[in-house]
């Protein structure tokens, strides 16, 4: 199926084509993914990969140091997750084109990232030719969403009782309690003998399940449900 049938396109600026060689930062914790993206950019587009990041923290540091034109970034990464990294990078480089390339298509993730100003959201289940088409499009000022992502965006939100605490798993309640007590993701991971990435995943799942968007919101619910005391 042609790549065009897999996208939702919102035109911004017909004259927004970049003629110079674009500097690209690729952020993903899997070396094979970084190499694959790097190869396809250099072989098919006029782009130069100036940096590769394994963690969200590295992505922020390299964005500050290298000032890339385009950042291709995953959501699930160690130390700092991709969503928080995107928010920081947008503060540093407001003009940079941010392309999310991830296996996750959670509604909450999509909404947060689109509100943050990303230019494209591509699922890793799509072909690499879709990635080429997406980048070519966003360089012209458009917005590209994979079909799986656009389906989520266009689908009406299901009505749900606010702060539905009962749908949390036992592990999510443990993580919620520790977040409310002020522990960092790394400290929670050490205490529960899980990875920092898993802690971040639980956190963003709770954001969606409990219909809140901040740590303060999670803490308020934890206090209300007497997981912690004031």
Write down the pLDDT at residue 14: 42
At residue 221, φ and ψ (nearest 5 deg) are -70, -40
Residue 132 backbone zone (phi > 0: left; psi -120 to 50: alpha; other: beta): alpha
pLDDT (mean) for 52-65: 94
How far apart (Å, rounded) are the C-alpha atoms in residues 97 and 120?
A: 8
- What is the separation of C-alpha 212 from the centre of its chain, rounded to a whole number of angstroms? 17
140 compared with 108, residue with greater pLDDT: 140
For the domain bounded by 165-224, which CATH number is listed? 1.10.10.10
Q: What's the pLDDT band for 229 if we cut at 50, 70, 90?
A: low
- For residues 74 and 225, the model is more confident at 74
Give the Å distances, CA to CA, from 126 to 13, 27, 94: 26, 18, 28
Helix extents (H) in the chain = 31-44, 56-66, 82-92, 107-116, 128-138, 147-154, 170-180, 185-192, 196-209, 215-224
Task: Please write the tens of the pLDDT for every residue from 188-214.
Answer: 999 888 888 889 888 988 888 888 888
Q: Can you give the pLDDT at residue 157?
A: 59
- Would the CATH topology of 3-154 be identical to that of 165-224? no
In whole angstroms, give the CA distance from residue 201 to residue 83.
11
The pLDDT-based confidence of 164 (bands split at 50, 70, 90) is low
Any idea what the Cα angle at residue 229 is, between residues 226 and 230, rounded to 5°? 130
| pLDDT for position 145 | 92
Domain extent listing, the chain? 3-154, 165-224
Count CB atoms within 10 A of the CB of residue 211: 16
Q: Could you give the percent of the chain with pLDDT greater than 90?
A: 30
What is the value of pTM for the model shown?
Answer: 0.64
- Average predicted confidence (pLDDT) for the chain: 82
Mean pLDDT of 157-181: 74
Q: What is the pLDDT of residues 77-136, one digit of tens each?
A: 888 888 889 989 998 998 899 999 998 877 777 888 888 889 999 998 888 888 889 998
> Could you report the per-residue pLDDT of 33-44, keeping only the tens digit for each?
999 999 888 887
More confident call, 4 vs 123: 123
CATH superfamily entry for domain 3-154: Response regulator (3.40.50.2300)
């Amino acid at each position: 199926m042609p790549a065009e049938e897999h996208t939702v396109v919102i035109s911004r600026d017909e004259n927004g084509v970049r003629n110079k060689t674009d500097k690209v930062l690729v952020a993903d914790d899997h070396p094979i993914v970084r190499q694959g993206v790097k190869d396809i950019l250099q072989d098919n587009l006029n782009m130069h990969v100036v940096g590769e990041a394994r963690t969200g923290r590295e992505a922020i540091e390299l964005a500050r140091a290298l000032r890339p034109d385009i950042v291709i970034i995953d959501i699930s990464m160690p130390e700092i997750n991709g969503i928080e990294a995107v928010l920081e990078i947008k503060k540093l480089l407001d003009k940079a084109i941010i392309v999310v390339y991830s296996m996750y298509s959670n509604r909450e993730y999509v909404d947060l990232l689109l509100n943050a100003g990303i230019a494209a959201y591509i699922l890793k289940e799509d072909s690499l030719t879709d990635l080429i088409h997406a980048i070519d499009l966003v360089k012209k000022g458009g917005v590209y969403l994979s079909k799986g992502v656009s389906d989520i965006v266009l689908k009406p939100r299901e009505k749900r009782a606010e702060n539905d605490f009962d749908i949390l798993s036992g592990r999510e309640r443990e993580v919620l309690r520790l977040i409310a007590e002020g522990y960092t993701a790394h400290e929670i991971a050490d205490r529960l003998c899980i990875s920092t990435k898993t802690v971040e995943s639980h956190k963003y799942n709770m954001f969606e399940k409990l219909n809140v968007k901040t740590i303060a919101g999670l803490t308020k619910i934890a206090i209300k449900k007497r997981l912690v005391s004031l």
